[in-house]
Amino acid sequence: MWIALALAIVVLLVLAFRGFGFLAWTGAAAILLVGWRLYGIASPSLFMAVTAGLILVAAVFGLPPLRRVLISRFVMPVFAKVLPRLGDTERVALEAGTVWWDADLFSGMPDWQKLLDFEARPLSDDEQAFLDGPVNDLCAAIDDWQVYQDRDLPPEVWALIRKHRLFGLIIPKEYGGHGFSALAQSRIVTRISSRSVTAAVTVMVPNSLGPGELLMHYGTQAQKDRYLRRLAEGEEIPCFALTGPEAGSDAAATQSEGIVEKRTIDGREVLGLRLNWMKRYITLAPVATLVGLAFRLKDPDHLLGDEVDRGITCALIPRDTPGVEIGMRHDPMGVPFHNGPTIGRDVWVPIDAIIGERDGVGHGWRMLMESLAAGRSISLPALSIGAAQMATRICGAYATVREQFDTPIGRFEGIEEPLARIAGMTYLMTATRTLTCGALDAGEKPAVIGSIAKAYLTEGMRQVITDAMDIRAGSAIQRGPRNMLSRSWDAVPIGITVEGANILTRSMIVYGQGAIRCHPFVHREIEAVAKNDLKAFDQAIFGHVNLLFTRAVRATLLALSGSRLAGVPQTEDTARYYQHLSRFSAAFTILSDTAMGTLGGTLKRREKISGRLADALAFLYLASAALKRYHDEGKTTANFGLVRWSVELCLYRIQEALLGVLENLPNRTAAWLLDLLIFPLGARFRPPADRLGARVARDILEDREARRTLTEDVYVPAGDQPGLGRLEAALDKAVAALPIETKLRDAVRAGKLDRAPGHMLDDTGLAAGIITREEYDRLNEARDLRDEVIQVDAFTPEQFRSLR
């Protein structure tokens, strides 16, 4: 009998581990019955009763028609009281976009081979040529320090933007645009941002949420013909007026209003809208010629139908329309891209100003939510990666060129630590951008993933720039043409704040939307209850029960085995990381379900808990992206160090997020039980070790190809230009001089030369014949350039008073 019991437990655990919950317990029960029968029956009547009872239970739970009658019809009304009720605007927001790899992570059993088999679309020849040609030409024409002083891009840069149709990156070619992929758009914005945040924002906004994208997807043919070519060629400069004083992230609460009414114009009666609005923080508004507007439309005279409140609607308003007030500027952290308020007072436009005309009435909220998924995935992540790659490029060079005690500062552990964080985060962020844009180019509109990319990449930018400022130290805080980092530092809070402030995105949107959209069963349960569909509810609720049971078994067995029981895809040297992520995916699933089950509708108000669950989901996704990047790229030593650093950071952050939920879950009994299941051997993951960080830092300092690959989107100016240009030139000379410096140090160690400071050692080495005159000149050239790049800008009192 003990053998049967052991076999039953094994069958139960194996089948549950593989996701077969019903089969697991019925199979285990059958083995126990067989064992009981074979090893003797103390009471035949008891055996028959137990057997009949188990058959009855299996029939009730295994036959859906019987299960619906005996169980589900009683459970459904209880769930109707617990499940959140979704209003129309909330439903549209939650259902916007699509689910993709995030659904796998929510499932507790991610299919890693599916991820690795996914082929992200590379840049086309035309896209690469545009990046290397017109985009580089634009970057070369920009003097970012002068842009700050003039508080605008110069006319020649505006002309290049129009000439190269940079406002039409996403507009189809038949309308004069480029029709570029999401990845191309992201890489273009990244490169421009590495030269000038002002120019990057100016280019990215017309290609993000705004008139162009809304017209492409929802405009009538007449509207497309009227506007798209003019937008692509820069004849029209668009902005989109969404945020108002009363409604920031909650755009559905807008007080901007449109009233349907008729007016007599040129002797004929015309149906139109009378609009009033007050908007702020609108990028490009001060120079816009075409205003996209989100407002609530009302029809008190029933000119469109029976309903008075027609809902959120989007329209296009020419700047010169009477009543439009526009042109004032905000000052976002001193970064001089155009941003300002716009006000409309009794502005009247015909009904065809609505995007989609009459078919677009009341559909503005859906338009915005569906389009925002793509915008969050591309624009601000691209800016963040531009800043991160620039910081990596600058600090990798500076830590080699800058010396203290005759030693490059990158050799000191105090510099090594933040340098490793900069490089590791840059690798992780760029990997996330590539995977996310790949999903977009494959036709997905990953709303949850887009929110993750926006929030966690802009937070990554904040960390990277902070570390870079620390490494550059005093030279990082002295503003001037030589200092690129200070302008990135200025821009950091902008990315953190716009398109949904990160506090809101982390604490409410990522998990709030993900828990419903990405979960295999929650959305189906809500829909079934709303439609009173007992059959659909029965399938969803018992699928949910199976999920919770099997993932609990899976999480526990993986924790006890050090994740070794998890299957892995065909990989060479990263298999353990896939196993650990599989473990945490299962743990996330059961913890998420428990949080939803014990907190119910109040979970969305428990923002600290939902924020930690968002952290766990986000770092599961970021780690997936890092592993995918390593799989797709060359297996170099530097890349292996970077992927290890990235994934180990993510694993630690996932662990800490899960622990944070467990420590603060109000139901302490559930928390205690889950702690036993998820961390039976304790919390064992740690941040990347010092040795690994040292390896990553050395690769960035010593492996020029690794540094170039990690910063491939950075625009590198000519060597005679201040900032990165001269720093790169100094790095080339410093690297060329290293063998000569080594020769001198070897001579000191051999006793052929006396120890002396750098330039004096050069002199004595030349005099002693240790180095040649040519080598001596190369050393001096390198030292001169070193001295040049460590200098900071200084101004006369008159110049200083005029600085911006």
- Whole-angstrom Cα distance, residue 46 to residue 37? 12
Amino acid at 298: K
Catalytic-residue membership of 499 = yes
Q: How many CB atoms neighbour CB 26 within 10 A?
A: 20
CB 638 within 8 A of CB 703: yes
CB 29 within 8 A of CB 54: yes
Region of 563 (left: φ > 0; alpha: ψ -120 to 50; beta: rest) is: left
- For 533, the token pair is 């569909």
CB 59 within 8 A of CB 66: yes
- For 333, the token pair is 């952290």
- For 36, the token pair is 């009981």
- For 412, the token pair is 């000191």
Amino acid at 548: L
Domains along the sequence of the chain with CATH: 2-62 (no CATH), 220-354 (2.40.110.10), 724-789 (no CATH)
Q: How far is CA 104 from the centre of its chain?
A: 17
- For 407, the token pair is 């030693």
3-class secondary-structure state, position 17: helix
Which pTM does this prediction carry? Answer: 0.94
The runs of H, that is alpha helices, within 278-322 are: none
- Whole-angstrom Cα distance, residue 49 to residue 61? 18
Apex CA 503: angle with CA 497 and CA 507, to 5°?
145
Any residues with CB less than 8 A from the CB of 390 and at least 6 apart, and which? Answer: 194, 484, 485, 488, 711, 714, 724
Average pLDDT per consecutive 10 residues, the chain (804 residues; last block may be shorter): 82 91 89 78 78 88 91 88 66 75 94 95 96 97 95 97 96 96 96 96 90 93 96 95 75 82 89 95 95 94 91 94 96 94 96 95 86 80 96 93 82 93 98 96 90 96 96 92 92 88 88 85 86 92 93 96 93 93 97 90 86 97 98 92 98 98 95 96 96 94 90 93 91 87 88 83 88 90 87 90 84
- For 293, the token pair is 């507007």
- For 471, the token pair is 């490494």
Residue 247's pLDDT is 67
Apex CA 289: angle with CA 287 and CA 293, to 5°?
105
Output 679-687 pairs: Cβ under 8 A, ≥24 positions apart.
679/559, 680/556, 680/559, 680/560, 681/559, 681/560, 683/655, 683/659, 685/580, 685/648, 685/651, 685/652, 685/654, 685/655, 686/648, 686/652, 687/648, 687/649, 687/652
- Whole-angstrom Cα distance, residue 698 to residue 62? 59
Phi, psi of 543, rounded to the nearest 5 degrees = -65, -35
Q: Which of 443, 494, 429 is nearest to 190 (CA)?
A: 429
Amino acid at 644: R
Any residues with CB less than 8 A from the CB of 417 and at least 6 apart, and which? Answer: 690, 693, 697
- Whole-angstrom Cα distance, residue 602 to residue 157? 52
What interhelical angle do 364-401 and 690-702 show, nearest 10?
80
Apex CA 416: angle with CA 412 and CA 417, to 5°?
125
Amino acid at 168: G
Any residues with CB less than 8 A from the CB of 538 and at least 6 apart, and which? Answer: 64, 67, 68, 72
Residue with tokens 């964080």: 421
State the catalytic residue, choosing from 416, 499, 648, 775: 499
Residue with tokens 């991610």: 110
Q: Which of 557, 581, 560, 559 is nearest to 569 (CA)?
A: 581
Amino acid at 213: E
What interhelical angle do 758-767 and 724-749 show, nearest 10?
60
- Whole-angstrom Cα distance, residue 233 to residue 227? 10
348: enclosing H helix or E strand: strand 339-350
Handedness of CA 311, 285, 175, 198 (dihedral sign): negative
Q: How many CB atoms neighbour CB 337 within 10 A?
A: 25
Output 81-87 pairs: Cβ under 8 A, ≥24 positions apart.
82/600, 82/601, 83/525, 83/526, 83/529, 83/600, 83/601, 84/526, 84/601, 84/604, 86/526, 86/530
End-to-end CA distance of the chain: 85
3-class secondary-structure state, position 363: coil
- For 169, the token pair is 């990156």
Three-state SS across 519-580? CCCHHHHHHHHHHCCHHHHHHHHHHHHHHHHHHHHHHHHHHHCCCCCCCCCCCCCCHHHHHH
Strand 257-265 and strand 290-298: pairing? parallel
Residue with tokens 């060359």: 634
Residue 86's pLDDT is 63
- Whole-angstrom Cα distance, residue 101 to residue 104? 5
- Whole-angstrom Cα distance, residue 658 to residue 26? 32
Residue 47's pLDDT is 79
Amino acid at 51: T
Three-state SS across 24-77? HHHHHHHHHHHHHHHCCCCCHHHHHHHHHHHHHHHHHHHCHHHHHHHHHHHHHH
Apex CA 74: angle with CA 533 and CA 534, to 5°?
10
Burial class (CB in 10 A: 0-12, 13-18, 19+), 233: middle
- Whole-angstrom Cα distance, residue 584 to residue 616? 9
- Whole-angstrom Cα distance, residue 519 to residue 733? 55
